[in-house]
Chains A and B, each alone.
Chain A
């Protein structure tokens, strides 16, 4: 039981990272219909920004983290400006920006590999390596921090979509672009905001996962697959689905590694199998849109 509870904390922490990545997909996908292949690279950029500002330059953590988020907002905005807006304005089919973002994936990754080389870089722990026990639950401080921050982000996302005019604009655009535009919603501003927000959330995931994973130029694609699997499990229609999917995926992974009698290498296959299974059997995910 002790073993399982320990596992539960670390699984919940990875589940939070997957949930954040899934939320980043969702923020871009809902209003634009674009599946952004570069989301994992955004998380990687967040981790490397954390390495540079907090590790190499030793900025105080709150200031550094805020700067990372600001940088990620800029990255998301620039990604939209370069790879999406020109195509949308030309009236190109939806496939064009998706493929352009796939190209951006390679551009981001290879740029980082040119600048930082192939060695992993350590992102500092904000609160040290300590251990924390809350009742029967025990785990590293970093894991509890990940869970806390993620819950706060999802709370903020819920508030944004349910209680603010901008959130309602997002929903309106997601439901019907044309009608939303006719109602006076500025589509290009919603798109720019969704990319900036998605990049900030993905970058935050990278910054939080950075200390455990180490920043590496190849870390993006696995995170992108895990995040997307979480999104498909939870369902693309609802924000809380992203977190639910992330949790289910992380528990499936950890339980497979710990208890299933198969070689550990096959654990990498867990998100892949779940992704294919859900796409085949229940492509709308567990939570239906309200």
Chain B
């Protein structure tokens, strides 16, 4: 009960925050929350289940485009479009997960990289449905019971998404499923010997986290009221991986820390180095792997002890 009160309190504070921020900073805040949601689910896939994939942003894009197409293009009511969108994301995630997780080692990384790139090709060539290279823009979230959610109030939707993702993944991590995922990551043979169904665990982790990325994408669709292909490309997939590794792979707090740090870093660095912050990301990534494989959260552990 106390726990629930804590979550609700956090939700209220987080949803109220943009009312004390300017228009611009409120927008950044909403996007930061979405990055945190993505980092949390990717951390579960990469850090906890040990699957190196580059398709997370493709699922994010699938959710975003799916939401726009269902709500705006097809004009479905939200009560129907939202569950349908979630269902589509989950179905595609499962359909990709079943063959992909059979691949050994780094072949999974390359197959999902190809899938992510192919998704961009399809978006670029999708004609009127996806809007081609320019994407889709100038649409609006329909009013919900006469109430316009656009702008600051929409933060509440994203807060529910982030906290829901965090709560679900935390709970799973502490359940038998989380332990099975870690066991499969560390030693699949030993895990199988202990009675863990390795294949099913991999598929479940991939499909679940990818579907969560899709749901985050559905929320993203109405943040900027525009979706276009480059957002869902390889660059951001790399950045997400860097966030999780620099923050500390396998730890929820690490994922949040990495997302916040790498999202805010360009704003601090741009007066010094202009648009070349990606170079700093690359250097930080190499340095993290070489010097501190457990990430910033590992540093934190060492100093707080």
In chain A, what residue has the closest Cβ to B287?
A103
Chain B residues in contact with chain A, CB under 8 A?
Answer: 52, 99, 103-107, 109-111, 113-115, 117-118, 121-122, 124-125, 234, 238, 241-242, 245, 276, 278-279, 281-283, 285-286, 289-290, 293
A181 part of interface (Cβ distance < 8 Å): no
Known: A265-B121, A273-B118. A107 touches B290 (CB 8 A): no
Q: Is the interface of A mostly helix, strand, loop or mixed?
A: helix
Contact A111 B279 (CB under 8 A): yes
CA distance A114 to B283 in the complex (A): 14
Q: Is the CB of B110 within 8 A of A100?
A: no
A269 touches B118 (CB 8 A): yes
Interface contact A87-B114, CB-CB below 8 Å = no
Give 29 CB contacts A-B under 8 Å.
A35-B106, A86-B290, A87-B290, A96-B289, A99-B241, A100-B289, A100-B290, A102-B238, A102-B241, A103-B283, A103-B285, A104-B282, A106-B285, A107-B286, A109-B282, A110-B276, A110-B282, A111-B279, A228-B110, A229-B114, A268-B121, A269-B118, A272-B117, A275-B110, A276-B111, A276-B114, A279-B111, A283-B104, A283-B107
Q: How far is the CA of A12 from the CA of B242 in the complex (A)?
A: 38
Q: How far is the CB of A25 from chain B (nearest CB, A)?
A: 11
Tell me whether A110 and B286 are in contact in the complex, defined as CB-CB below 8 angstroms, given that A98-B106, A279-B110 are known contacts. no
Q: Which residues of A contact B109 (CB under 8 A)?
A: 35
B111 cross-chain contacts in A, Cβ below 8 A: 275-276, 279-280
Interface residue A82 (Cβ < 8 Å from any Cβ of B): yes
B118 and chain A: residue at smallest CB distance: A272
Contact yes or no, B286 A83, CB < 8 A = yes
Number of A-B contacts (CB under 8 A): 102
With A96-B289, A225-B113, A266-B121 in contact, is A107–B279 under 8 Å at CB?
yes
| Smallest beta-carbon distance A58→chain B, Å | 29
Instruction: Please tell me if the beta carbons of B99 and A103 are within 8 angstroms of each other in the complex.
Output: no
Considering the complex, which residues of chain A in the window 171-190 have a beta carbon less than 8 Å from any beta carbon of chain B? none
Which residues in A have their C-beta under 8 angstroms from that of B282? 103-107, 109-110
Task: Pick from B115, B122, B238: contact of A106, CB below 8 A.
Answer: B238
CB of B245 within 8 A of CB of A106, answer: no
What residue of chain B has the Cβ atom nearest to residue A108's Cβ?
Answer: B282
Q: B290 → chain A, closest Cβ, in Å? A: 6
Docked-complex contact B289 and A283, CB < 8 angstroms: no
Whether A138 sits at the interface, judged by CB under 8 Å, is no
**Cβ contact within 8 Å between A106 and B279:** yes
Which of A83, A102, A272 contacts B114 (CB under 8 A)? A272
Partner of A265, one of B125, B278, B286: B125
Q: Which 9 A-B pairs have the closest CB atoms?
A: A106-B282, A103-B285, A110-B279, A103-B286, A107-B282, A272-B114, A272-B118, A35-B106, A100-B289
In the complex, what residues of B have CB within 8 A of residue A98's CB?
52, 106
Residues of chain B within 8 A (CB-CB) of A111 are: 279
In angstroms, Cα B106 to Cα A266, docked, is 26
